[in-house]
């Protein structure tokens, strides 16, 4: 029995399909299917029922799944604990929601690592909030950074507790608009929301537009078919398209204007965006005093306090 096989079982159970597990783990679907079949043959039980609606754990499979989760979590934590104790060979993993300032904040912390004489291996994984919680919970990441709307803070707090995770708020804000200075709406100090539907909106491809707007912009949002949408799957592509697609815009967290390198992009207020949102650092309970975890969190907090505007 291999650790990777256990990770496959966990991913299949959580995603409900081998296809979903393959996408989550960046693995080929046939490899996971073969590994699952070999595992079931080896341990002599059927872990999943194959149904038209997806993969469902059998009663024996449910017990195996729970034990596998504990083993995988313990193994990742063991690896993280001992790799971080190597003074001259630092290993650290971060899972974070896609955000320009968060990426810059991680760079700010890495610059501090450069001031030491240690070698380091930092893995920075951009993902969504759900995956960042999952990765941190099972020990695949040493810390996570998530984005949580105020209306759902209680639900997320409960989820974090269930996964034995603690949290520290980096900043609170309301979403703003980013567009070129030549955009027709850039003339407004407060951009009228109804005017936005005339222009192309850029959004990340794994975000449901309606859910995103209701959750992070305004709970009273009503979808309209008269919209121009551009879905992208890489954060860097958003900025490239913003500069090349005429009159495009996108929603962002508030950052200083000079954070975009003095280019032709401007940040604009839109009072329709009324949902208070928090960026939060999450970590395993009891790990906050570990040297690297504490160092990273302190640097992230310091960076956020210096650069975020209009909190």
Rounded to an integer, the average pLDDT of 186-190 is 95
> CB count, 10 Å around CB of 147?
23
Annotate the chain with DSSP letters as a single string.
--HHHHHHHHHHHHHSSHHHHHHHHT--HHHHHHHHHHHHHHHTS--EEEETTEEEE-HHHHHHHHHHHHHHHHHHHHHHHHHTT-TTEEEEEEEEES-HHHHHHHHHHHHHHHTSS-EEEEEEEEE-HHHHHHHHHTTSSSEEEEEEEGGGHHHHHHHHHHTTEEEEEEEEE--EEEEETTSGGGG-SB--HHHHTTSEEEEETTS-HHHHIIIII-TT----SS-EEEEESSHHHHHHHHHHSTT-EEEE----GGGGTT-SEEEEB-TT----EEEEEEEETT-TTSHHHHHHHHHHHHHHHHH----
| Domains observed in the chain | 3-81 (1.10.10.10), 84-173+277-307 (3.40.190.10), 176-268 (3.40.190.10)
Q: What is the pLDDT of residue 88?
A: 54
Q: What is the pLDDT of residue 87?
A: 47
Of the chain, the percentage scoring pLDDT greater than 70 comes to 91
Which range is least confidently modeled, 150-164, 221-235, 257-271?
Answer: 257-271
Rounded to an integer, the average pLDDT of 137-149 is 92
Which range is least confidently modeled, 41-55, 78-92, 215-229, 264-278?
Answer: 78-92
Burial call 168-195: b when 16+ CB within 10 Å, e when fewer: eebbebbbbbbbbeebebbeeeebebee
Burial environment of residue 12 by CB neighbours within 10 A (0 to 12, 13 to 18, 19 or more): buried
Q: What is the pLDDT of residue 193?
A: 93
The pLDDT tens digits for 197-214 are 999 999 887 777 788 888
Which range is least confidently modeled, 42-46, 99-103, 156-160, 206-210?
Answer: 206-210
Global pTM value: 0.67
- Mean of per-residue pLDDT scores for the chain: 86
Res 73 pLDDT > 90: no
Contact 252, 178 (CB under 8 A): yes
Q: What is the pLDDT of residue 310?
A: 42
* Three-state secondary structure call for residue 82: helix
């Amino acid at each position: 029995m291999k650790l990777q096989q256990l990770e496959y079982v966990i991913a299949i159970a959580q995603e409900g399909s081998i296809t979903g597990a393959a996408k989550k783990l960046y693995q080929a679907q046939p490899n996971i299917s073969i590994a699952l079949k070999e595992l079931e043959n080896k341990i002599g039980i059927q872990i999943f029922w194959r149904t038209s609606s997806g993969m469902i754990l059998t009663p024996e499979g449910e017990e195996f799944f729970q034990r596998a989760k504990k083993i995988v979590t313990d193994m990742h934590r063991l690896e993280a604990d001992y790799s971080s104790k190597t003074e001259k060979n630092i290993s650290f993993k971060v899972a974070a929601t896609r955000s320009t300032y968060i990426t810059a904040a991680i760079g700010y912390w890495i610059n501090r690592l450069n001031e030491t004489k240690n070698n380091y291996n930092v893995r920075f994984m951009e993902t969504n909030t759900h995956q960042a919680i999952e990765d941190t919970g099972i020990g695949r990441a040493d810390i996570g950074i998530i984005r949580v709307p105020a209306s759902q803070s209680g639900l997320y707090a409960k989820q974090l507790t269930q996964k034995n995770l603690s949290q520290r708020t980096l900043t609170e804000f309301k979403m703003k608009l980013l567009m070129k200075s030549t955009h027709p709406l850039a003339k407004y100090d407060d951009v009228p929301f109804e005017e936005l539907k005339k222009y192309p909106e850029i959004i990340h491809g794994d975000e449901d537009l309606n859910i995103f707007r209701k959750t992070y912009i305004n709970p009273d949002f009503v979808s309209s078919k008269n919209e121009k949408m551009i879905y992208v799957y890489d954060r860097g592509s958003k900025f490239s398209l913003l500069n090349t697609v005429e009159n495009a815009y996108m929603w962002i967290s508030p950052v200083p204007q000079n954070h975009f390198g003095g280019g032709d992009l401007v940040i604009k207020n839109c009072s329709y965006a009324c949902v208070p949102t928090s960026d939060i650092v999450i970590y395993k309970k009891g790990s906050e005093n570990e040297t690297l975890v504490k160092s990273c969190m302190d640097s992230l907090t310091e960076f956020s306090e210096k650069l975020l505007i209009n909190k």
